[in-house]
Every structure is written in structure tokens, then in C-alpha cells.
């Protein structure tokens, strides 16, 4: 018995050593740093504990999730680490150490996660008094926290995108679905409502910003009410979720940035509330069945129209529902078919009849565009036929000047300045070109993808969140007119935002990649226990949004692209929890 224990200790010590070495190579920690000894001791204790606790019901989610995170770390870190060494043998050896060490570490962290009890999240006493007004209370708390930011930034925060949408409302530009036309019409609705009372464009557009802020606060309150009433979380835990939505400053800042992402995020939050009710309580039935199905239809239509990736999210949900609820196919048909038919009609015949311009193909191909641009930027060898095909599309001599690894819009606009119709007319030819170059230069393709998606797949990153303010210059008189002024307001704003970059753990909330990792961790925890697989339905919207960003994110450092899945994380965490 003692020999077995000693063998086990030696094994855990070896695992800890390999993991520490991998971490020190990955993060360039000196081998003489005292941190190495502390890490060694901590990991030895972790590996000893998780190995003695035994395996979960299913081990494969742990293995697959650990492999995914190891792969992510290698993509993000390995290229720079290995670039310091010239000897190929050293490179291969260090690559093996990093891969093995990180994989062992992630496996044991996942095992620890699956072992953590979550019963404390739920109400322990049956029949304990309910907080009847939790939704109203949550809504008002959010407004109290958001309102100072709105007054400070009145009439809101505007980058070039909403300025272009307002120009459509004013008739300066033709109607376009480049940014969802339904969002542009919503801005126009409040602009015209405001026009009943005032001619001031700041107040008229500010009315929309105030609505957007209230809508997001309402959606957050519905989420908290759902977690409390459907999943039965403790009030204290619901208050922690409320603090996440209300008190973390980037939530307030995002709520007043005029863009489609905020409304879309709110709609997806409401949609996830319905998914949660379905998973925990079953499909709609009884007196409210028709109302709930109609509500589900409305949310599905809005989600599909407010962002193009929302349409793909709904289609994925439809496919999963068709499989999971096959026995209740009539009800599922009423929940899914009206959404699909309505969205197809609106996106097709209705918009065509109304003369609404549709986004071009270049808009949806940011990652492939960047991959080919990287090949051109580094002057890789390209066949004359492929070069001629690219030259027909645009002036590729300008790639050296315009290529930016983390920002795809430059190359997109370069294509638009050339002959973008060639892309539409010869989709197959350009797809085969992309495939040929990818087979020939896979490292360039992987690194181009990494440069655009790194902040989504990895928590660490150098980018600002919530710093954005002001109004982009425009010709129609919209300008920043703060209703709260003074040095104190400026300093308090700076301090609130600065804390996200200096406070440990809390700063994790300010990272796009952290929410992707949390999603993966919770999915693994759900799958590690039999009988909980249906809860993955709740995770699908967040996972689908991330998947679409992998293919089409235009800029790596803009948090608003991640906002619509970051706000869904409370659902993911709570779905992974289980009453004891």
C-alpha cells in the first residue's frame, strides 16, 4: 500500500514538474524565480487531490476540453516562444514539453471543476419566502447604475456605424441592410417620436439611447428573475448576477453605445430565458401555450433580423430542437416554422421590393480575406494564374500598405474599391484559390486566423474596454452634450474603468476570451454527468455566436463583438450547477 502511495507521489511530482516547465516557457518566467517552487508545490497538491477523488461519470469531456484549450494555447503562444530558438531539436523538445504540461494541467483543472459541489447556489429550504418583485428591483438597480453614464455621455456614444444609420433615417444615404435595417428603423422611430416635442437632434437621438439603455436593463432583470424562479437560485447568488449586470462599468458603457450589438444582446438574453424555461419546465403547454409559442416566434424573428449571425443561431437551435423534441414535432413545427418563413420573406422579397441594399460578400469573409492578405503581405510565392485572379479583384500592390493583422476592414475596403462583383460572379474560382493557398501556406492561414480571433479564444489581451466615448464627426449636427460635467465626473469614470485592468480576478470579467473559456468549462461539466445533456441547449446561442465570430469577426480588439455572448454567461454557469 505504501509503495503504491510512493509511486503515486512520484508520478504527481513528475506531472507537476512538466506542467511548471510548460508554464514557465509559455509565460517566459525565469527558472530562478521563486514562483517556480510555489507553482511546483501547488500543482503537486492539486494533482494528488484530483487523482485521489476518482474519475467523473464521463472522462471524455475532460479530455476533449483539455485538448481544445491546449491547442488554443499553442496557437497563441508557441510561435513566439519557439521563434527564440534556432535549433530544431530544441524547438521540437520544448513544443512537446509545453503540449504535455498544459494538457496535464487542464485535465486536472477540469477534474477539479467536475468535483466542485454546486448545491450551495440553490435555496436549501423548501417553501422559503420568495422575493416577489425581484424583476422590478433588478430593473431599477440597473437603471440607477447606468443613468450617470448616460448623463455623462449624452446623447450617447456613436462611432461611424450608427452615424451612417442616422444618415439613412435623415435621407442622406439610401436604405441598407449592411447594418440591420430593423435597427435603423428603430432609431428612426424614436427620432420621429422625439420630433413631436423638439427639433433638437441631440434630444431626438438621445431618446433612442435612453430606450436602448432601459431595454438592456429590462433584459437583465428578466434574466435574474428567470434564474431565481426557474432554476431556483439563492437570492444572494441572484444579487451577485445583478451586480455583474449593473455594477461592472462596461455593462453601463455598452448600454449607451448606439449599435445593433446591444439590442441584439438583449434579445438573445430573452431568448435564452425561454430556452431555460423549456429545458427545466418542458415545452409550452396549458392555457399559456399559444402566448408562449407566439413569444418564442417573436424573439426568434427579432434575433434573426438584428444580426446576421442571429439567423444562424436560430437555425442551429431549430436543428437541435428537431432532434431532441422529435416526439412533439407538431408543437416544434409551430415554434420554428413561422420564424424561418417570416425571416426568409423579410430578408428576400420584402427588402428587395423596398429597395434595401444588402451587404456584399466581402462583408462576410473577413477571415479568408485576412488569410490571403497575409500570404501577399509576406510575399509568398504565388502562381501567375492565382495572382492574375487576385489582380482582377483589386489592386493587390496596396496590401503591404493596408494589411493590419487584427483589423480586417482595410482589406475588405480594398476589395470594395476594386471589382467586388468578380467575387460574386466567380465564387467557386476564389474558393479554390483560397483552398490552394491554404494548403500551401497553412501556418500563414493559422496565424492570420489567430490574429483576428486571439482575444476571443484566449483571455489575456492588450485592448481597451469601455474607454470609448464621444460622437463621431457628422454633417447633421449630432454632438456630445454631457449633462454631468466636471473633473470629479471624469476622474470617477477613469477610476471605474481602470479597475478592470489592475484588480486580479475582477479583471477576468473584462476579457472577451474569459467568457469563451467559461463556456467551454461549463459545457464539459454538464457533459461529465449523465442525464444533463439537454441543458446544452441553453449554451447553444453563446456557442453559436462565438463560432460565427471565428469565421467573420472584422476586428480583434472591439469588445462589442463579444458582448452578445458575454451577457449569456450567467445562464451557462447556472446550467452547469446541480442541486445536491
Tell me the per-residue pLDDT of 523-541, one tens digit each, with 9 for 90 and over: 999 998 888 889 999 999 9
For 253, the grid coordinates are 458603457
Q: Hey, is 540 helix, strand or coil?
A: helix
| Residue 420 pLDDT grade (very low, low, confident, very high; cuts 50, 70, 90) | confident
Out of 98-112, 291-305, 384-398, 449-463, which region has the weakest mean confidence (pLDDT)? 449-463
Q: Whole-number mean pLDDT of the chain? A: 90
Predicted pLDDT at 319: 93
> Residue 301 burial by CB count (10 A; 0-12/13-18/19+): exposed, middle or buried?
buried
| Residue 124 pLDDT grade (very low, low, confident, very high; cuts 50, 70, 90) | low
Read off the pLDDT of each residue in 1-12 and give the average, rounded to a whole number.
Answer: 66
What is the radius of gyration, based on Cα positions, of the chain?
A: 26
For 322, the grid coordinates are 428537431
Residue 42 has pLDDT above 70, yes or no: yes
What one-character-per-residue DSSP string does 304-324 give? HHH-HHHHHHHHHHHHHHHHH
Q: How many Å apart are CA 198 and CA 181, to the nearest integer?
A: 25
Predicted pLDDT at 4: 53
Read off the pLDDT of each residue in 320-343 and give the average, rounded to a whole number.
Answer: 92
Q: Which residue has the higher pLDDT, 345 or 551?
A: 345
290-313: pLDDT as tens digits: 999 999 999 999 999 999 889 999
Question: What 3 state SS string does 130-158 have?
Answer: CCCCHHHHHHHHHHHHHHHHHHHHCCCEE
| Residue 7 pLDDT grade (very low, low, confident, very high; cuts 50, 70, 90) | low
Q: How many Å apart are CA 561 and CA 553, to the nearest integer?
A: 8
For 570, the grid coordinates are 450567467
φ, ψ for residue 289 (rounded to 5)?
A: -60, -50
Residue 337 has pLDDT above 90, yes or no: yes
DSSP 231: S
Predicted pLDDT at 1: 47
Out of 91-100, 115-124, 352-361, 408-417, which region has the weakest mean confidence (pLDDT)? 115-124
Predicted pLDDT at 30: 87
- Please name the residue that has the C-alpha cell 431556483: 232
540, 575 in Cβ contact below 8 A? Answer: no
Amino acid at each position: 500500500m505504501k509503495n503504491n502511495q510512493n509511486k503515486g507521489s512520484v508520478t504527481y511530482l513528475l506531472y507537476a514538474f512538466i506542467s511548471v516547465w510548460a508554464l514557465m516557457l509559455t509565460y517566459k518566467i525565469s527558472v530562478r524565480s521563486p514562483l517556480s517552487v510555489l507553482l511546483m508545490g501547488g500543482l503537486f497538491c492539486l494533482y494528488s487531490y484530483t487523482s485521489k477523488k476518482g474519475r467523473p461519470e464521463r472522462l471524455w469531456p475532460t479530455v476533449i476540453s483539455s485538448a481544445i484549450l491546449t491547442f488554443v494555447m499553442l496557437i497563441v503562444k508557441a510561435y513566439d516562444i519557439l521563434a527564440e530558438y534556432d535549433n530544431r531539436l530544441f524547438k521540437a523538445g520544448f513544443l512537446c514539453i509545453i503540449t504535455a504540461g498544459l494538457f496535464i494541467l487542464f485535465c486536472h483543472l477540469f477534474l477539479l471543476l467536475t468535483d466542485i459541489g454546486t448545491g450551495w447556489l440553490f435555496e436549501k429550504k423548501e417553501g422559503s419566502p420568495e422575493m416577489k418583485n425581484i424583476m422590478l428591483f433588478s430593473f431599477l438597480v440597473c437603471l440607477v447604475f447606468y443613468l450617470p453614464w448616460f448623463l455623462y455621455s449624452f446623447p450617447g456614444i456613436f462611432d461611424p456605424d450608427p452615424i451612417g444609420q442616422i444618415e439613412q433615417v435623415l435621407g442622406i444615404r439610401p436604405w441598407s441592410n449592411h447594418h440591420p435595417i430593423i435597427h435603423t428603423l428603430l432609431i428612426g422611430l424614436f427620432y420621429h417620436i422625439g420630433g413631436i416635442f423638439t427639433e433638437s437632434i441631440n434630444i431626438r437621438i438621445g431618446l433612442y439611447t435612453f430606450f436602448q439603455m432601459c431595454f438592456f436593463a429590462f433584459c437583465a432583470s428578466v434574466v435574474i428573475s428567470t434564474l431565481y424562479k426557474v432554476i431556483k437560485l439563492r437570492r444572494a447568488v441572484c444579487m451577485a448576477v445583478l451586480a455583474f449586470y449593473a455594477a461592472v462599468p462596461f455593462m453601463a458603457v455598452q448600454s449607451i453605445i448606439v449599435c445593433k450589438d446591444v439590442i441584439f444582446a438583449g434579445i438573445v438574453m430573452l431568448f435564452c430565458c425561454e430556452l431555460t424555461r423549456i429545458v427545466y419546465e418542458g415545452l409550452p403547454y396549458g392555457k399559456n401555450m399559444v402566448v408562449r409559442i407566439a413569444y418564442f416566434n417573436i424573439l426568434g424573428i427579432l434575433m434573426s433580423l438584428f444580426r446576421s449571425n442571429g439567423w444562424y443561431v436560430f437555425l442551429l437551435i431549430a436543428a437541435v430542437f428537431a432532434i431532441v423534441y422529435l416526439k412533439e414535432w407538431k408543437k416544434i413545427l409551430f415554434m420554428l416554422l413561422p420564424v424561418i418563413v417570416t425571416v426568409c420573406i423579410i430578408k428576400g422579397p420584402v427588402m428587395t421590393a423596398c429597395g434595401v441594399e444588402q451587404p456584399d460578400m466581402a462583408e462576410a469573409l473577413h477571415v479568408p480575406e485576412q488569410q490571403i492578405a497575409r500570404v501577399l503581405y509576406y510575399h509568398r510565392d504565388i502562381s501567375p494564374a492565382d495572382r492574375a485572379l487576385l489582380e482582377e479583384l483589386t489592386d493587390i500592390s496596396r496590401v503591404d500598405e493596408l494589411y493590419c493583422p487584427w483589423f480586417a476592414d482595410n482589406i475588405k475596403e480594398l476589395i470594395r474599391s476594386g471589382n467586388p462583383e468578380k467575387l460574386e460572379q466567380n465564387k467557386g474560382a476564389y474558393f479554390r484559390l483560397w483552398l490552394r493557398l491554404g494548403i500551401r501556406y497553412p501556418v500563414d492561414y493559422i496565424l492570420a486566423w489567430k490574429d483576428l480571433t486571439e482575444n476571443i479564444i484566449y483571455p489575456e489581451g492588450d485592448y481597451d474596454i469601455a474607454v470609448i466615448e464621444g460622437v463621431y464627426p457628422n454633417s447633421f449636427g449630432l454632438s456630445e452634450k454631457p449633462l454631468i460635467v466636471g473633473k470629479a465626473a471624469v476622474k470617477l469614470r477613469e477610476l471605474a474603468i481602470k479597475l478592470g485592468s489592475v484588480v486580479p480576478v475582477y479583471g477576468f470579467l473584462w476579457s472577451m476570451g474569459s467568457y469563451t473559456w467559461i463556456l467551454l468549462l461549463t459545457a464539459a461539466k454538464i457533459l461529465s454527468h449523465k442525464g444533463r445533456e439537454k441543458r446544452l441547449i441553453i449554451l447553444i446561442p453563446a456557442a453559436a455566436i462565438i463560432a460565427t465570430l471565428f469565421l467573420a469577426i472584422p476586428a480583434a480588439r472591439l469588445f462589442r463583438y463579444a458582448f452578445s455572448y458575454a451577457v449569456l454567461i450567467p445562464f451557462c454557469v447556472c446550467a452547469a450547477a446541480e442541486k445536491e
